[in-house]
Amino acid sequence: MIDGIVAIVGRPNVGKSSLFNRIIGERKSIVHDEPGVTRDRIYGKASWLTKNLRLIDTGGLQMEGQAFDEEIQMQVELALDEADVILFVVSALEGMTRDDEHIARLLRQSNKKILLVANKVDDQHLVNNIYEFYSLGYGEPFPVSTAHGIGTGDVLDWIIQNLPEQGPKEYDSALTFAVIGMPNVGKSSLVNSVLNQERVIVSDVEGTTRDAIDTPFRFEKQDYVIVDTAGIRKRGKVYEDVEKYSVLRALGAIDRADVVLFVLDGEKGIIAQDKNVAGLAHDAGKPIIIIYNKWDVVDKEEHRQEEVEKMIRNEFQYLSYAPILFVSAKTRRRVHTILPLVEEVHFNSIRRISTSVINEVIHDATLRTPPPSHNGKRLKIFYASQVAVAPPTFVIFVNDPDLCHFSYKRYLENQLREAFEFTGTPIRILLRKRGA
């Protein structure tokens, strides 16, 4: 669950990406002295004081002649629209520029909380340089040094204090499932087919759905919320600014979904970018159902269902747990099977297994196939316990986690899957040294 969205904006080369990397704790954004290196938005997650944040690292905003060009203007407006709070980054080393003043005027149009962050305060004598930024109208600048990690905690404290209050979930008892996929694979048509009514726009033009659209409904005494998301493209292939933020909305839909329907286009077949889309849901630990749509137009003589399923399994090996449905949103063929499967995989994702039963399965697995030795040492498994659901997460206490080869960890996962019904949901196994 994401508690807030934070956009980092500013002119080129003020250290936005360095601040982004400091907050998320990894070098995900490219950091370079050449202005304009970050051209696309990059998203990351961070946690601070029990709050989960999604951060957006934006490209540098600068003037072209006397005004922002149309694309930059759109980028700022979208940042203002999406973010809960905004970090406006300036450089204490270089001082205030006309670009800073123009960005300040644009940010003033929003009603969002904005923190002025004066970066590159790497030496104490540079602190005096921050006071000229008072004229931008955003109060006292926060001095930070992303190069030395100074001041980042104060920035995070400010973010937490200024996040909007989260109201109660609108559909607390409903089962929420998000429909994701590349543009034009038939997501909106599938939503309409599930609902059996025209509730969202359906079009042949790629990218029609800009927002994540929630539609609550009831079926056989169960409340649902179906979320139709804008088509996700691989980041390097996203050219339109509005569509870039559609990716953020889709990520948000995945975060709050109980189940994800990953839609493939049966007419076009599998393309490389599909793997990036599926990876978003897999990395989030969400139960996944693969929907192979437009089955009505597939030549069954050339592409038998068994062969297509084998191809999907080969292309998406990391989704071996995900069931596959061959449907036609247009003719509603097999669409009736979706909701029962959504319920099934959701139930599997929140399944809890008693500690005694888990240990019986792990013990039997190690007897059948003992852990291999490594450099004269052998992995010893002491006991295991389930510590979380959605996804089911197991901690296995061992003598040395480094002695567990990934293939043996996968073997243990397979044994848990054989013993218990985890169809549709990823499961996670964490190795801990006993006593650690």
Instruction: Report the distance separating Cα 364 and Cα 381, nearest Å.
Output: 12
pLDDT of residue 274: 83
pLDDT of residue 372: 86
Cross-strand partners of 55: 6, 44
Query: 421: which 2 tokens?
Result: 């019904």
pLDDT of residue 75: 57
Kindly report the three-state secondary structure assignment for every residue of the chain: CCCEEEEEECCCCCCHHHHHHHHHCCCCCCCCCCCCCCCCCEEEEEEECCEEEEEEECCCCCCECCECCHHHHHHHHHHHHHCCEEEEEEECCCCCCHHHHHHHHHHCCCCCEEEEEEECCCCHHHHHHHHHHHHHCCCCCEECECCCCECHHHHHHHHHHHCCCCCCCCCCCCEEEEEEECCCCCHHHHHHHHHCCCCCCCCCCCCCCCCCEEEEEEECCEEEEEEECCCCCCHHHCCCHHHHHHHHHHHHHHHHCCEEEEEEECCCCCCHHHHHHHHHHHHCCCCEEEEEECHHHCCCCCCCHHHHHHHHHHHCHHHCCCCEEECECCCCECHHHHHHHHHHHHHHHCCCCCHHHHHHHHHHHHHHCCCCEECCEECCEEEEEEEECCCCEEEEEECCHHHCCHHHHHHHHHHHHHHCCCCCCCCEEEEEECCC
| Alpha carbons within 13 A on the beta-carbon side of 106 | 27
Cα separations in angstroms, 255 against 12, 176, 267: 31, 11, 29
pLDDT of residue 107: 87
pLDDT of residue 114: 94
| Alpha carbons within 13 A on the beta-carbon side of 85 | 23
Q: CA geometry: angle at 262 spanning 260 and 263, to 5°?
A: 140
Residues of the chain whose pLDDT is less than 50?
A: 27-41, 65-68, 168, 210, 235-242
Locus of tokens 């034009």: 184
pLDDT of residue 317: 93
Contact by Cβ (8 Å): 366, 360: no
Termini Cα distance of the chain:
28
pLDDT of residue 49: 86
Structural domains of the chain in order of their starting residue, each with its CATH number: 4-162 (3.40.50.300), 175-349 (3.40.50.300), 355-433 (3.30.300.20)
Query: 211: which 2 tokens?
Result: 């927002």
pLDDT digits (tens, 9 = 90+) for 382-406: 999 999 999 999 999 999 999 999 9
pLDDT of residue 340: 95
